Structure 1
Amino acid sequence: MRLLICLLMAAMATGTTYAATPRTLRVDIQHSGDAKVERYALERVVLEPLAWAGNPARPLDDSNRGAQKFEVADVASGKLLYSRGYSTVFGEWYTTAEGEGAQRSFQESLRFPMPDKPVKLTIFARDAANAFAPSWSMVIDPASLEIERVVLPLPTAPIAIRHSGDPAYKVDLLLLGDGYTVEEMGKFEARARALTAHLFSVSPFKERASDFNVWALAVPVPESGISRPSSGVQRASSTGARYDVFGLERYLLTLDNRAFRELAQHAPYDVVEIVVNSETYGGGGIFGQFSTVAADNTFRDHLFVHEFGHHFAGLADEYYTSPVAYASMDKPAVEPWEPNVTALLDPSGPKWSHGASSPVPLPTPWPKAEFEARQRDVQARRAKLRAEQRPETEMDALLNASQADTDALFAHAQYRDVVGAFQGANYSATGYYRPQLQCMMFTRAEAFCEVCRNAIEQIIDLYSAGQPRVP
């Protein structure tokens, strides 16, 4: 009820009249298997309490983003009603060493407007050629007695951090707090407002700020902070967020999809960033699922926007010198679907040739050997700091010095500001190429490259196009 009042008050303030929309249907599934086998199973179907916040003018996703895709089609006519690309935690896990010899199950959710007739839900996965192929399907009858229709209320309500209009025609970003006690609720709201302000200082979010609503929601936990098993820290969590996922100390995710969805359903949302009460460097982002940020870390602004780039736009990591939990591919077999990395150097140019500078040699020269030598030293010192459990201030100093050193190295590079194809990306020193020398997806730089900016705008349009923009 408090959320409804909040929305109505915002509508009155902006002169907006919201049209009636269907509620949100959520299908919770289990995604299991290993490096060789992949399975899906239904866990439950939930009718969420709020109206669908998605864009009715763009129900079909034509971006070709994601390791997976789901489609919703009318059973009687076969008409395609809704589709979205996405990626999964399972899709990262099965490339790890554990995925080679064990089987695990991960929770996932697929959300779409509540249909008024039976629909067929189909999940597609990438095949050997990186094309989508059907993997699993089921029929959902909206009249089914198996749909859970009762939702327990929360003791708190979402905070409207930024309201630009009808959720149906805006990107609705939900900042979901975790690790905050009752006494720290004010701290969470202040951090949520500060992170939001930073997001809209970065292009292209800066220029497209009127296409976003931002909400903040948190329920208190008994003890401040979140779990970090490698340091012996264990905490009760509202979203399941923790460090050390897949054995990587900085990788901050939740493997408890149900926990965070049970909270998120009380706010309008297209995308979710989990804001955790921690100063330890860390974050993570899964396209179409969620992203995370350590809200008290010195690099929180960079982490917030970088991880949101993964979650919101399906951007690939362009770095390759830091350790990661999953396998890299120095000799990729197919062209990656991510918009900002490529494995193919066609004579006519990379897949972002429409934005490439001309004439630019391919591959595009850059001080690669010197950069790698410096990064080897940084990573060795970084590992030593973590092994000795040194104060976070020492890690901050190392990373700040490393970025300053990289900026100085690149300052006079011949092709510093052009769009080309720079070898080294996607956790691989040789197998992939990135569009520009510097980007927020490559180092702790302050800006996205041109190709990443364009890719982000395409997804903003997917959620916001269809209604005149506010000047």
Structure 2
Amino acid sequence: MKKTLFSLILSSLLLPGQAQDFDTYFTDRTLRVDYLFTGDAQKQEVYLDELCALPHWAGRRQHLSELPLEGNGNITMKDKATGEVIYRTSFSSLFQEWISEKEAQSVKRGFENTFLLPYPKQAAIVTIELKDVRHRTSASFTHEVNPNDILIHQRGSTHVTPHRYLLKNGEAKDCIDIAILAEGYTAEEMELFYRDAQAACDAIFAHEPFARLKDRFNVVAVASESEDSGVSIPRKNEWKATAVSSHFDTFYSDRYLTSRSVKAMHNWLAGIPYEHVVILANTDTYGGGGIYNSYLLTTAHHPMFRPVVVHEFGHSFGGLGDEYAYTSEPSPMYPYDIEPWEPNITTLVNFESKWKDMVPEGTPIPTTPEKDRKLLYSKVGVYEGGGYTLKGIYRPTTECRMKINEAPRFCPVCERALEKMIHFYTY
């Protein structure tokens, strides 16, 4: 009963007040914008790399000028003639994580980043902003998009990567479209990939709120072939030629598996409707990574594959923060005097904006961790430890899918945040 009431309230809050604007300003195509994020810890810059046109638009057609989450950056598109904001989206990036690493103090690097925008009918002005850990603009770049520009690269109309739908509930305009890419699978291993992709799909939709709202999603497995089987493990001096050139040891962390070949990911997907990208690596080495509104990458043959892919999807789809902690030192990503934008961690600076309404009256803050296993994942409080640090950052429950692999579910706060995101995209 409570879930039904929540859904009704959420629906009333997210009524598509701007649904009519899509046909006013956009065509049923995608403008793919490729940027380079460059710099070091002291200074960052954004450069335009390439504009591409894709055949269809799979993104939202309502709440066009709203952001579901703040993220670590945002993109705003304005109609050039009127100055009206016609589309906004937010994101995080591997580059912004790298800035907090020691290497960024002495080395300048560039990272690829790709974003999908609805294709404007008339000239538009696009502004992209990167935010620092204090939520201040650290870099911005503004450019004009002429939809008739002959140098906008037309992709996806002639060659489309072989693919197979694992879940098909409707047209792309009505559903959230998830694409699962193969990484480190040769042509001879594609049936193995399709089985692994089905396992990933089943794992995600075994969790709430995805199970209850499964009819809002399409899932397609995309057979992006690699020359070599497996993925690169630099610490073992193993380097493979793979579809998106992923590797472990990102930022010298053994299990952090990522790719900086972001354009390659999107080139494989050209011509297939998609919004969110899941990449499965053909290896049994433990690891993964998920970046909000960018991609997730995880290993397909480790025993913990299923809980890990769900955890990383919590990052890439829902913008959820990590609830685990391993040091008493402050995290460079989460200053104690700033409220994190992630919905499931807090510094208590602005707890009203988080899950305060879900904390039972009389619950002490901080809350003593539960010992009763029945309450580990469900009793909402304010438990110290999260966002990688044991002190000053708080999480909603004792345990959660965003904290440990053994958790059977997301905590109630994470479930609510994910449900809100699904409604944002589909109402």
**TM-score of the superposition, structure 2-length normalised?**
0.88
Alignment of 1:301-320 (within 5 A): 301-320=306-325
Q: Which moved more, 1:57-66 or 1:268-277?
A: 57-66
Would you say 1:55 and 2:16 are equivalent positions? Answer: no
2:160 is the alignment partner of 1:198: no
Structure 2 vs 1, CA of residues 417 and 320 (structure 1 numbering), >3 Å: closer, same or farther? same
CA distance in 2: counterparts of 1:414 and 1:57, whole angstroms: 38
User: Does residue 31 of the first structure (1) align with residue 37 of the second (2)?
Assistant: yes
Q: Which moved more, 1:195-204 or 1:218-227?
A: 218-227
The residue correspondences of 1:146-185 to structure 2 (distance < 5 A) are 146-150=151-155, 153-154=158-159, 156-185=161-190
- Residues of 1 paired with 2:241 and 2:328: CA distance? 28
Structure richer in helix, relative to its length? 1
Give a deviation string over 1:109-162, Cα, whole Å, max 9, x none.
121111111100011233675266872211111112321125585474221110
Q: Is the 8 A contact 1:330 1:430 kept in 2?
A: no
Map of 1:336 onto structure 2: 340
Task: State the shift of 1:61 in Å.
Answer: 3.0
Q: Deviations over 1:210-250 (max 9, x none)?
A: 00000000222222111111112111011122111111110
Q: How many residues align?
A: 402
Q: Is the 8 A contact 2:283 2:301 kept in 1?
A: yes
Gaps of 5+ in 2: 1-22
**C-alpha distance in structure 2 between counterparts of 1:142 and 1:349, whole Å:** 43
Asked if the contact 1:240–1:260 (Cα under 8 Å) also holds between the matched residues in 2, the reply is: no
Q: SS state of the match for residue 154, structure 2?
A: coil
Alignment of 1:135-146 (within 5 A): 135-146=140-151
1:425-467, Cα deviation, whole Å (9 max, x unpaired)? 00111020001111011111121011111111111112211xx
Determine the structure 1 residue equivalent to 2:420. 458
Q: Secondary structure at the match of 1:194?
A: helix
Which residue does 2:404 correspond to in 1? 443
Task: Tell me which residue corresponds to 1:431.
Answer: 392
- Other structure's SS at 1:198 match: helix
CA distance in structure 2 between the partners assigned to 1:128 and 1:433 by the alignment: 17
1:354 maps to which of 342, 347, 357 = 357
Give the residue type in structure 2 aligned to 1:167.
Answer: A
| Superposed CA offset, 1:349-380 (max 9, x none) | 6731111122210000127xxxxxxxxxxxxx
Separation in 1 of the partners of 2:157 and 2:376? 57
Q: Check the 8 A contact 1:122/1:134 in 2, yes or no.
A: no
- After superposition, the C-alpha distances for 1:78-108 in whole angstroms (9 at most, x for unaligned) are 1111111100111100000111111110011
* Pair 1:418-2:353 in alignment: no
Number of the residue aligned with 2:13: none
Aligned partners of 2:176 and 2:216 also within 8 Å: yes
- 1:214: which partner in 2? 219
The aligned counterpart of 1:399 is none
User: Contact 1:90 / 1:106 at 8 angstroms: preserved in 2?
Assistant: yes
**TM-fit CA distance, 1:345:** 5.9
State whether residues 69 and 132 of structure 1, in contact with CA within 8 Å, keep that contact through their aligned partners in structure 2. no
C-alpha distance in structure 1 between counterparts of 2:328 and 2:390, whole Å: 12
Matched letter for residue 77 of structure 1: T
SS in 1 for 2:290: strand
Q: Between Structure 1 and Structure 2, whose CA radius of gyration is higher?
A: 1
Query: Cα gap change, 1:220/1:135 in structure 2, threshold over 3 Å: closer, same or farther?
Result: closer
Q: Distance in 1 between matches of 2:218 and 2:313?
A: 15
1:280 partner letter = T
For the structure 1 residues 67 and 358, does the alpha-carbon distance in structure 2 shift closer, same or farther, using more than 3 Å as the test? Answer: same
Which sits farther off after the overlay, 129-138 or 104-113?
A: 129-138
Residue 285, structure 1, aligned to residue 290, structure 2: yes
Q: Which amino acid aligns with 1:357?
A: P
Letter in 1 for 2:356: S
**Aligned amino acid, residue 177 of structure 1:** A
Structure 1 residue matching 2:393: 3-state secondary structure = strand
**CA distance, structure 2, for counterparts of residue 184 and residue 127 of structure 1:** 42
Shift in alpha-carbon separation, 1:150–1:264, aligned structure 2, 3 A: closer
Report the TM-score when normalising by structure 1: 0.80
Quote the residue 1:64 is aligned against.
69
Cα distance in 1, alignment partners of residues 106 and 216 from structure 2: 45
Residues 75 and 210 of structure 1: CA distance in aligned 2, closer, same or farther (over 3 Å): same
